[in-house]
Structure 1
């Protein structure tokens, strides 16, 4: 199971990172944006009032630029992104977008060099991904938190790994998604501290994995991981447990199995990571399983090692290439692959704030629209955290600082890829936002968005019964199951979230340092928010919405008879329907 990466604080951090250098106002709720100054629409001022009765918009009797009505220039710029000149419409919008594509050298994505799911190694990895035999207590598999039908994730804000139960407190290891609860907690709260990132298009990411980047390929090509030793200078060395030529996906696959909350449980808790992995490999070598024969098909010999296990799982993940989105088709030359609304959103997305845009491409860049670095964007913090001091207990999450030890990285999280983002909700490193609109609005005003999320007024959360936080599917399920109030489930959620916002404000005030904080607030109206959301949804490959299309990556009842052991996870939803 992958933790925080690819990392879709979606941050997380973040599902949509806006221009970090802009200094603008908040989202306006009052309808379409007032048109930008342009020909026939100069900046309001003395003798140049806003349009209205007696001062009509350009048209008959209100001529185009000429003497006394100058062409655009300093102080009288052209209309902004998503708001083309009247009468030019689609053509002007297409020109704006094409200009940005050329300037930013945006290009379509290719699956060249990545494996096919039909290849022997990804086929082996598929079986390994779905077996509970890699779970210490045999109650969880990689797929427990990363099922293809669930967007390559689990649809939960915070994942439930080992010892899952259902609403009736019955063991439910094969129940995935909503209705999956933690049987090891008295309140059934999830113990995994972060939202599970999607595994879709993992092969396109060869730099960092997890929300905090704890598995990372350095500039020299070597990979550092949580198993890396520290040199005399205090820097992490390359992980010497990794075989030569290991992919980033294979390196990442070595760690969910060692996590007590994700897959390990309390099994062999006294062993270090590498010794524990060898125990798992020996388990698969058991004569009562068919794993040796499966490895023979992939490697031409039947040796089962954990290096091979991780490599095969990594190749399965790397085979999940879903890039046939309207946006990718547009970049391939299909100009009609995007609607006008989606094109307007793309122009806003890639235009900087000083161009009238949202500046999202500052952090979500490249062919995968992901970030190479880590950003402080102050997404909400709730859940068990990572042991960092919060307002009341150690349930805060310092993010990247936990890896580097540098307080300039506090609350920084990796900007995930936005590919297929329409199916990877909820968003952010804690899955605190259920919709893309909430994510977009967060960047305009983090404090206001968090107050809205928790229905806070004058610093007091949950002042009414309409807090969106309580409507998050996982939170609502916990309320219904346990009978607790929303506030009592996570009493520190609001205060911890505001603590992060205060840190961001202190950074903006120059009181504390930060490596890459959100400095700007895109000034977007409702129409522009909708355009941005439409564009981001156009980053989704239709295949990820189609169960039949996803079938090659799924182990179901049809494959159960030939599975290498008797512990395949045949996933079902809360109603008992197969995924």
Structure 2
């Protein structure tokens, strides 16, 4: 079958006539309507003769196309965002910056399972540092592992601050840039006298908890520091020449940071790796092509990792081993646990579920999953192949990630059997039937995943 013939099937076939109740004939004389059923990429493309034709056919059926180019960012705005991103002025303690967790290489990842909180080691923050690639590309709707920041259908933003967001924010990435400034464990710090050590500071004392309920005093205090730094202030006002300096506020800081991140981290090259393959400007190895066919077929990855972001932007429970200090209500549970998107929506179906991450730059975004429990991409892939088995086999003593030389908080199926039984009982339908791949097939799948990068992030 030629690749052009895929248009003729459109990934849909009619599988018989609609059933008639009780076996009676259709008395109306009108033939029953056919039932269109969507073919999987593997079904639609089984007749292709070569690896290349089969993969290209499957990509078309799965609607995987090149991601759009990043928007143009003016140099003054990029430069101001770069300064702000790397400045410790934005923290309550004056000791950490955005770059403390998001270095300006490696897709903005710190390569740690869990970063140390402002309490210091061995006290980690709640979740793995997210990458910063393509955050405004590919029709993205959510940010953060649990999707607590994003954009509504009408273009308005949602966030933990509700209606307390400042006006004039350009996009949801600018919204997100405001929240590490409010996180006591990440950048804000703690109220003096709270017994939390070096993270205590005066700005942290301006508001109670939850900080997001009254964020403006913190943002105002940060702006005082920004205005007092001539280098940063001059760069910020130069980025907004049409805005009177007296009106430059925290929203402009957030917009500049978002602009810097958007220009610095994007995977939309017309020639690099998988993008080049999609645009017919470069080839891939046969191993990577076989891996792509597995990704879109037998391995089932495309069920959740699809579209231009390689993400369905939905939440799924993968039964990820419970490591870390927990999150939200789970922080106070025994043992500590992270119930994922449930903490945002309150929906039982979202318990232990997290938004499907994009796979762009997945080669360098380890450690993997929301708590960094897996150090290598192969470990993360093998978990997906048998999530229930991997969760039950995980052992804190041998498998838990470290913060420095100290294991992070951890529970496993021997120390918290009820928790693990509950996670596995709620496992995403897509992962309930284990997939058996040979070691060579896993190698091919990894070869494909390693092509999903720009080479400059």
TM over 0.5: yes
1:529 match: secondary structure: helix
User: Which of residues 334, 343, 356 is equivalent to 2:289?
Assistant: 343
In the alignment, the residues of structure 2 paired with residue 157 and residue 191 of structure 1 have an alpha-carbon distance, to the nearest angstrom, of 9
**Are residues 425 and 497 of structure 1, via their aligned partners in 2, closer, same or farther at CA, if it must alter by over 3 Å?**
farther
Q: Which has the higher helix share?
A: 2
2:405 match: secondary structure: helix
Is 1:490 equivalent to 2:409 in the alignment? yes
User: Which of residues 87, 112, 115 is equivalent to 2:72?
Assistant: 115
| Structure 2 unaligned spans of 5+ | 1-41, 191-200, 208-213
**Are residues 364 and 247 of structure 1, via their aligned partners in 2, closer, same or farther at CA, if it must alter by over 3 Å?**
same
Where in structure 2 are the equivalents of 1:376-455 lying within 5 Å?
Answer: 376-389=317-330, 393=334, 395-454=336-395
Is this contact kept in 2: 1:391–1:496, CA < 8 A? no
**Are residues 197 and 101 of structure 1, via their aligned partners in 2, closer, same or farther at CA, if it must alter by over 3 Å?**
same
Aligned residue in 2 for 1:48: none
1:378 match: secondary structure: coil
Is this contact kept in 2: 1:375–1:518, CA < 8 A? no
How far apart are 1:243 and its partner, in Å?
2.1
Compare 444-453 and 100-109 and name the one that shifted more: 444-453
**Are residues 538 and 500 of structure 1, via their aligned partners in 2, closer, same or farther at CA, if it must alter by over 3 Å?**
farther
Task: Name the TM-score, length of structure 2 as normaliser.
Answer: 0.78
**Are residues 378 and 391 of structure 1, via their aligned partners in 2, closer, same or farther at CA, if it must alter by over 3 Å?**
farther
Is this contact kept in 1: 2:143–2:150, CA < 8 A? yes
Aligned residue in 1 for 2:16: none
1:177-198 residue CA offsets vs partner (Å, 9 max, x unmatched): xxxxxxx35xx22331100011
Length, aligned pairs only: 390
Where in structure 2 are the equivalents of 1:243-258 lying within 5 Å?
Answer: 243-244=167-168, 246-258=170-182
Is this contact kept in 1: 2:335–2:411, CA < 8 A? no
Bigger RCO of structures 1 and 2 (CA < 8 A, at least 6 apart) = 1
1:425 match: secondary structure: coil
In the alignment, the residues of structure 1 paired with residue 255 and residue 232 of structure 2 have an alpha-carbon distance, to the nearest angstrom, of 15
Is this contact kept in 1: 2:142–2:149, CA < 8 A? yes
1:542 match: secondary structure: coil
Is 1:302 equivalent to 2:210 in the alignment? no
**Are residues 383 and 330 of structure 1, via their aligned partners in 2, closer, same or farther at CA, if it must alter by over 3 Å?**
same
Aligned residue in 1 for 2:55: 97
Aligned residue in 2 for 1:265: 189
**Are residues 438 and 280 of structure 1, via their aligned partners in 2, closer, same or farther at CA, if it must alter by over 3 Å?**
same
**Are residues 451 and 391 of structure 1, via their aligned partners in 2, closer, same or farther at CA, if it must alter by over 3 Å?**
farther
**Are residues 217 and 154 of structure 1, via their aligned partners in 2, closer, same or farther at CA, if it must alter by over 3 Å?**
same
In the alignment, the residues of structure 2 paired with residue 407 and residue 119 of structure 1 have an alpha-carbon distance, to the nearest angstrom, of 46
How far apart are 1:245 and its partner, in Å?
5.8
Is this contact kept in 2: 1:145–1:160, CA < 8 A? no
How far apart are 1:498 and its partner, in Å?
5.7
Aligned residue in 2 for 1:275: 217
1:120-143 residue CA offsets vs partner (Å, 9 max, x unmatched): 112111100000000101011111
Is 1:321 equivalent to 2:266 in the alignment? yes
User: Which of residues 218, 221, 226 is equivalent to 1:284?
Assistant: 226
Aligned residue in 2 for 1:214: 148
| Structure 1 unaligned spans of 5+ | 1-79, 163-183, 229-238, 352-356, 455-460, 480-485, 509-513, 545-579
**Are residues 507 and 421 of structure 1, via their aligned partners in 2, closer, same or farther at CA, if it must alter by over 3 Å?**
closer
How far apart are 1:452 and its partner, in Å?
4.4
Task: Name the TM-score, length of structure 1 as normaliser.
Answer: 0.63
1:413 match: secondary structure: strand
Aligned residue in 2 for 1:62: none
How far apart are 1:282 and its partner, in Å?
1.6
1:324-355 residue CA offsets vs partner (Å, 9 max, x unmatched): 34111110013x5211010111111112xxxx
**Are residues 215 and 491 of structure 1, via their aligned partners in 2, closer, same or farther at CA, if it must alter by over 3 Å?**
closer
**Are residues 497 and 154 of structure 1, via their aligned partners in 2, closer, same or farther at CA, if it must alter by over 3 Å?**
farther
Is this contact kept in 2: 1:330–1:337, CA < 8 A? yes
How far apart are 1:521 and its partner, in Å?
2.1
How far apart are 1:504 and its partner, in Å?
4.0
Is this contact kept in 2: 1:450–1:497, CA < 8 A? no
How far apart are 1:449 and its partner, in Å?
2.0
Aligned residue in 2 for 1:156: 112
Aligned residue in 2 for 1:146: 102
In the alignment, the residues of structure 2 paired with residue 431 and residue 526 of structure 1 have an alpha-carbon distance, to the nearest angstrom, of 23
**Are residues 306 and 495 of structure 1, via their aligned partners in 2, closer, same or farther at CA, if it must alter by over 3 Å?**
farther
**Are residues 276 and 391 of structure 1, via their aligned partners in 2, closer, same or farther at CA, if it must alter by over 3 Å?**
closer
In the alignment, the residues of structure 2 paired with residue 500 and residue 518 of structure 1 have an alpha-carbon distance, to the nearest angstrom, of 18
Is 1:478 equivalent to 2:405 in the alignment? yes
Is this contact kept in 1: 2:323–2:409, CA < 8 A? yes
How far apart are 1:435 and its partner, in Å?
1.1
User: Which of residues 410, 427, 449 is equivalent to 1:536?
Assistant: 449
1:442-498 residue CA offsets vs partner (Å, 9 max, x unmatched): 1222243235442xxxxxx64xxxx243xx4x44x324xxxxxx5xx5353555786
Aligned residue in 1 for 2:123: 190
**Are residues 143 and 495 of structure 1, via their aligned partners in 2, closer, same or farther at CA, if it must alter by over 3 Å?**
farther
2:150 match: secondary structure: strand
In the alignment, the residues of structure 2 paired with residue 254 and residue 451 of structure 1 have an alpha-carbon distance, to the nearest angstrom, of 38
In the alignment, the residues of structure 2 paired with residue 198 and residue 359 of structure 1 have an alpha-carbon distance, to the nearest angstrom, of 24
User: Which of residues 81, 85, 91 is equivalent to 1:129?
Assistant: 85
